[in-house]
Amino acid sequence: MATRLYTHPIFLEHITPPGHPERPDRLRALARALEGEAFSALDRVEAPAGDEATILYAHPAEFVARVRAAIPETGIARIDADTTASPKSWQAAVTAIGAANAAVDDVFEGRADNVFVAARPPGHHAEKTTAMGFCLFNNAAIAARHAQRKHGAERVAIVDWDVHHGNGTQDIFWDDPSVLYCSTHQMPLYPGTGAKNETGAGNIVNAPLSPGTGSDHFREAFLSRVLPAVHDFSPDLVIVSAGFDAHHRDPLAEIELTEDDFDWATGRLMELAGRHGGGKLVSLLEGGYDLQGLAYSAAAHVGRLMKG
């Protein structure tokens, strides 16, 4: 087996306004970073069409219909202050979900050791009934529920190291102890949630980081809060909400990580996934807005996944 990579040309057709940080060039930079010899063993697969019915795993039908109605026939429609949709955004969003669900199928059915999904739009800010923060639907949450419904997973851990708190994922699983949600993120920062005392049904673990936090404090937070929670939870599957905007080059935040930190964090999660769930790990791209920081970080992350 190997590490599988899902992507799809449709992800480049979710168009955002000029100057918007969440732009198609992110995926182009990421693809170039994964072209080298070191990645020749990657199992590259085009993402399958998604099943729209699985959106309902995390969002009510009324909300899904509202997002669909907001997709414009031409131009760019504004959904909230910083979340927009273009004519192909629906297909991109559904394909991103299809890729995440297929990645779950792959690790449960033995087609891959682990999987990285390079898709957009991202998902972790999408709450049950609110599209926000560049996100339409919550890909990680849908994938977690897919693992439970289709593969009988009893416990799914979602680890989110995007520099922004995943308010959407927290919202969706707030009272669902079958899913553990752990997040490291800068605080204060958008979207404003993610304090330590937000604990849901005991299944939410927030590790907020002060602006200026570097490798040492990030790793300490990961070691002291995130990893013990995942270990105690004994998940059947680990899903990573892999944003790379905590990289020091990123323009949207003030956390000072390097690509080595993403390599390290990936390795620690792989160890835990191996101990509890037979190594099943699915990683979904979230943020990361400096093209070079994103490319280097994703390369370090995927390189570590491939080392098995």
Going by their DSSP bridges, the two strands 204-209 and 179-186 should be labelled as parallel
Catalytic residue among 8, 14, 59, 125: 125
**Is 245 a residue that touches Zn ion (CB under 5 A)?**
yes
**Is 243 a residue that touches Zn ion (CB under 5 A)?**
yes
Q: Site residues for Zn ion, window 264-293 (CB under 5 A)? A: 287
Q: Enumerate residues 6+ apart whose C-beta is below 8 A from 78.
A: 84
**Is 145 a residue that touches Zn ion (CB under 5 A)?**
no
- Which of 279/287 has CB closer to Zn ion? 287
* Smallest separation, CB 137 to Zn ion (Å): 16
Burial (0-12, 13-18, 19+ Cβ within 10 Å), 215: middle
DSSP annotation of 1 reads -
Q: Site residues for Zn ion, window 21-40 (CB under 5 A)? A: none
Which residue in the set 164, 249, 276, 304 belongs to the binding site for Zn ion (CB under 5 A)? 164
**Is 166 a residue that touches Zn ion (CB under 5 A)?**
no
Q: For 85, what's the count of Cα atoms within 13 Å in the CB-facing half-sphere?
A: 24
**Is 124 a residue that touches Zn ion (CB under 5 A)?**
no
DSSP annotation of 200 reads T
Q: Enumerate residues 6+ apart whose C-beta is below 8 A from 21.
A: 134, 251, 252, 289
- Which of 18/251 has CB closer to Zn ion? 251
- Which of 54/186 has CB closer to Zn ion? 186
**Is 146 a residue that touches Zn ion (CB under 5 A)?**
no
Is 125 a residue of the active site?
Answer: yes
* Matching residue, tokens 């760019």: 76
**Is 162 a residue that touches Zn ion (CB under 5 A)?**
yes
Number of residues that bind Zn ion (CB under 5 A): 5
* Matching residue, tokens 């079958």: 178
* Smallest separation, CB 46 to Zn ion (Å): 26
Q: What gap in Å lies between CA 126 and CA 57, rounded to an integer?
A: 13
Q: Which residues pair with 237 in a beta bridge?
A: 156
Q: Report residue 150 as tokens.
A: 């289709």
- Interacting residues toward Zn ion by CB under 5 A: 162, 164, 243, 245, 287
Q: Catalogue the active-site residues.
A: 125
